[in-house]
C-alpha cells in the first residue's frame, strides 16, 4: 500500500513537472512494435500479443497502474517517446550506449544472443561457430575471431537485417564489404524476402529467429546457425525504454521487473514464448 | 538546431540523391511512353482498346502507391516458382526494378490523363486548317496535334514529375537507400528526427526547384507565340521619307 502511495505521489510529481495528463490518471502508455514475434506481434484479428504484452500487463499490475499498450513503427519508436506520445517502450529493445545518450532504460528483463537464419539447403547452413557462445563485452578477441570465421562463407551473399537495430549496427561494423546488406522495416519483411530468395541469410535476435522457425513455412527448410554473440555493442539485454527525466517511473519499473524475476513470472513467460529462459543473469 | 550536425547529415543524405533521381527519371521515361500509349488507347474510340486503358487508369490512380510497391515486391515475391518458370524472377528479385516498375505503372496512369487532356484541348480550328493544307494521319499528328498537346500538357506534366521525385521516397520500404532511406537510417542512429528530416526536406526542395526551372525553360521555349514580339525598330529609310 505504501508503495502504491509512493508511486502515486511520484507519478503526480512527474505529472506536475511534465504537465502530462496521462500520468495524472495513473495510466501508463506503453509502446510496442507489434511485428517482432514472439516478443510482440499483432494477431490475425488485430490484437497485440506476445511475451512483452503479457509481461507489461504483469509489471503494470505490480506497479498498480493501468496500462495502455499501443503499436508504433520501429523507426520512430524512440523519437515518439521523447516527444511524449507515450511513456515507455517495451519492444525487444536492447540497452545500448548509443540509445542511452537519448533515453534511459529500466531492466533488463531479457537477454538473448544473435544468430543467422539460412535455408537448410544453402552452403551457409554449415556456418562455423554454430552452437558456440561469445560475449563481445568480456571476450572480445574470441568473439571477433568467431565472426571473422563466418566471413568466408558469407562473402558475396545478400544479408537481410531489420534497420535501426543492434543487429544492423553489428552488420555494418563486422560484415560490411563482405555481404550486401539490405535493411528492412520489420523482421517479417526480411523473413518474406528470405523465403522468396531475395536475400540469402537473415541476421537477427536468436529468440526472434526461433519465433520465425515456429511458423509452418519456415520450420522445415530453415535453420538457425552461426556463433551466438551477446554483450558489447549488442547491449546489455532488453529493457524498458523511458524518458531520462522519468526517474520515478524507472524506479517503479525496476522494482516490478525484479519482482517478476524473483517469483519466477519472467521465467514462466520466457519459457512460454521462447521455449528458452532469457531471464538476465546478474 | 545544431548546424554542425545538419552539415554532417547533409553530406550523408546527399549520397542518396543519385538513386532518388535515377528512380524518378527512369520511371518517368518509361512511364511517359506508356502514358502516351494509354492516352491514344483512350482516345481511339475502339472499345477493346479504350476499356482496358480506362480500367488500368482507374486501378492505378485509385490505389496508394505504397500498396502497389508492397504488392509488386512482397506480393509477387511469393510467386517465385511461377516467375522463375516465366524467366521473370531475375527482374523481380531486384528491389530496384520492383521500385521502377511500381513507379512507372503509377506515373503512366496519371500521365495518360494529363496527355489525354492536352490532346483533347488542341483547338479544332488548328486541325481543320492543317487538313485544309492537305495534312492528315500521322503527319497531322506529328506536326500539329502533338506539339500543341505537349505545350498544353506541360504545366500539369511538370507537377507529375515533381510528384514522382517525391514518390521515390516510398522505395525505402523495399530496402532502397535513397534520400529518405538514408534519413531513416541516420535518425535511427542519432534519434534526431527533426534535424535529419529538415535536411532531407531541403534536399528534395532543391532538387525540385531545379526541375521546376528546367520545366519553365522548356515551356518558354515551346511558347514563342505567347512571348512579346521583339520591338520593331523603325526602318531608317522610312524615317527619311
pLDDT digit string, tens, across residues A105-162: 998 999 888 999 999 999 999 999 888 888 888 888 999 999 999 999 999 999 999 9
Cross-chain residue pair B175–A183, CB shorter than 8 Å: yes
Which of A256, A255, A245 minimizes the C-alpha distance to A84?
A245
**CB-CB contact of A30 with A56 (8 Å):** yes
Predicted pLDDT at A58: 95
Q: Which of B74, B78, B188 sits opposite A163 (nearest CB)?
A: B188
Predicted pLDDT at B149: 93
Query: What dotted CATH number matches B3-224?
Result: 1.10.3720.10
- B185 in reach of chain A (CB within 8 A): yes
What is the per-residue pLDDT across A204-235, written as a single tens digit (0 to 9) for each? 999 889 889 988 889 899 999 999 898 888 88
User: What proportions of chain A, in percent to the nearest 5, are helix, strand and coil?
Assistant: 45, 25, 30
User: What proportions of chain B, in percent to the nearest 5, are helix, strand and coil?
Assistant: 85, 0, 15
Predicted pLDDT at A62: 93
HSE (side-chain half, CA atoms, 13 Å) at A90:
32
CA dihedral A92, A96, A100, A104 (to 10 degrees): 40
Q: Which of B77, B173, B185 sits opposite A196 (nearest CB)?
A: B77
Predicted confidence (pLDDT) at residue B162 exceeds the cutoff of 50: yes
Predicted confidence (pLDDT) at residue A21 exceeds the cutoff of 50: no
Q: Which domains does chain A have, with CATH numbers?
A: 2-111+236-274 (3.40.190.10), 114-234 (3.40.190.10)
- The pLDDT of A234-256, averaged and rounded, is 93
- B173 in reach of chain A (CB within 8 A): yes
B 60-89 near A (Cβ less than 8 A): 74, 77-78, 80
Predicted confidence (pLDDT) at residue B4 exceeds the cutoff of 80: yes
Predicted pLDDT at A8: 53
Best of A74, A79, A85 to mutate (most B CBs within 10 Å, chain B):
A79
- The pLDDT of A234-257, averaged and rounded, is 93
Predicted pLDDT at A135: 87
Amino acid at each position: 500500500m505504501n508503495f502504491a502511495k509512493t508511486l502515486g505521489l511520484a507519478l503526480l510529481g512527474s505529472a506536475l513537472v511534465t504537465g502530462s495528463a496521462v500520468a495524472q490518471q495513473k495510466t501508463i502508455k506503453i509502446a510496442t512494435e507489434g511485428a517482432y514475434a514472439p516478443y510482440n506481434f499483432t494477431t490475425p484479428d488485430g490484437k497485440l500479443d506476445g511475451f512483452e504484452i503479457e509481461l507489461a500487463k504483469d509489471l503494470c499490475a505490480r506497479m498498480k497502474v493501468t496500462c495502455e499498450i499501443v503499436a508504433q513503427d520501429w523507426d520512430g519508436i524512440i523519437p515518439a517517446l521523447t516527444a511524449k506520445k507515450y511513456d515507455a517502450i517495451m519492444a525487444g529493445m536492447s540497452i545500448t550506449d548509443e540509445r542511452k545518450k537519448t533515453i534511459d532504460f529500466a531492466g533488463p528483463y531479457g537477454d538473448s544472443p544473435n544468430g543467422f537464419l539460412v535455408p537448410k539447403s544453402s552452403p551457409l547452413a554449415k556456418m562455423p561457430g554454430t552452437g558456440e557462445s561469445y560475449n563481445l563485452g568480456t571476450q572480445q578477441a574470441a568473439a571477433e575471431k568467431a565472426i571473422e570465421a563466418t566471413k568466408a562463407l558469407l562473402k558475396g551473399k545478400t544479408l537481410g537485417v531489420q534497420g535501426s537495430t543492434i543487429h544492423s549496427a553489428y552488420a555494418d561494423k563486422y560484415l560490411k564489404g563482405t555481404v550486401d546488406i539490405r535493411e528492412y522495416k520489420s523482421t517479417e519483411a526480411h523473413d518474406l524476402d528470405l523465403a522468396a530468395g531475395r536475400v540469402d541469410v537473415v541476421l537477427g535476435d536468436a529468440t526472434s529467429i526461433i519465433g520465425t522457425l515456429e511458423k509452418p513455412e519456415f520450420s522445415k527448410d530453415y535453420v538457425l546457425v552461426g556463433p551466438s554473440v551477446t554483450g558489447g555493442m549488442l547491449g546489455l539485454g532488453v529493457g524498458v525504454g523511458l524518458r531520462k527525466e522519468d526517474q520515478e517511473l524507472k524506479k517503479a519499473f525496476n522494482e516490478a521487473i525484479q519482482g517478476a524475476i524473483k517469483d519466477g513470472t519472467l521465467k514462466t513467460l520466457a519459457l512460454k514464448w521462447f521455449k528458452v529462459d532469457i531471464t538476465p543473469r546478474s | 538546431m545544431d548546424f554542425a550536425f545538419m552539415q554532417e547529415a547533409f553530406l550523408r543524405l546527399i549520397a542518396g540523391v543519385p538513386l532518388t533521381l535515377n528512380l524518378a527519371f527512369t520511371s518517368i521515361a518509361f512511364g511517359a511512353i506508356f502514358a502516351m500509349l494509354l492516352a491514344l488507347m483512350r482516345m481511339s474510340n475502339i472499345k477493346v482498346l479504350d476499356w482496358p486503358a480506362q480500367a488500368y487508369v482507374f486501378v492505378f490512380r485509385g490505389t496508394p502507391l505504397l500498396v502497389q510497391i508492397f504488392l509488386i515486391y512482397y506480393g509477387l515475391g511469393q510467386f517465385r516458382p511461377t516467375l522463375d518458370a516465366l524467366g521473370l524472377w531475375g527482374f523481380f528479385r531486384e528491389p530496384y526494378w520492383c521500385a521502377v516498375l511500381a513507379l512507372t505503372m503509377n506515373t503512366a496512369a496519371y500521365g495518360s490523363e494529363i496527355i489525354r487532356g492536352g490532346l483533347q484541348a488542341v483547338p479544332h480550328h488548328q486541325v481543320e486548317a492543317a487538313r485544309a493544307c492537305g495534312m492528315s494521319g500521322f503527319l497531322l499528328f506529328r506536326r500539329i496535334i502533338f506539339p500543341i498537346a505537349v505545350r498544353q500538357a506541360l504545366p500539369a506534366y511538370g507537377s507529375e514529375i515533381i510528384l514522382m521525385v517525391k514518390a521515390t521516397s516510398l522505395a525505402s520500404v523495399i530496402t532502397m537507400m535513397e534520400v529518405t532511406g538514408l534519413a531513416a537510417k541516420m535518425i535511427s542512429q542519432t534519434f534526431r528526427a527533426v534535424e535529419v528530416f529538415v535536411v532531407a526536406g531541403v534536399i528534395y526542395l532543391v532538387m525540385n526547384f531545379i526541375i521546376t526551372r528546367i520545366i519553365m525553360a522548356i515551356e518558354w521555349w515551346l511558347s514563342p507565340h505567347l512571348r512579346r514580339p521583339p520591338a520593331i525598330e523603325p526602318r531608317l529609310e522610312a524615317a527619311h521619307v
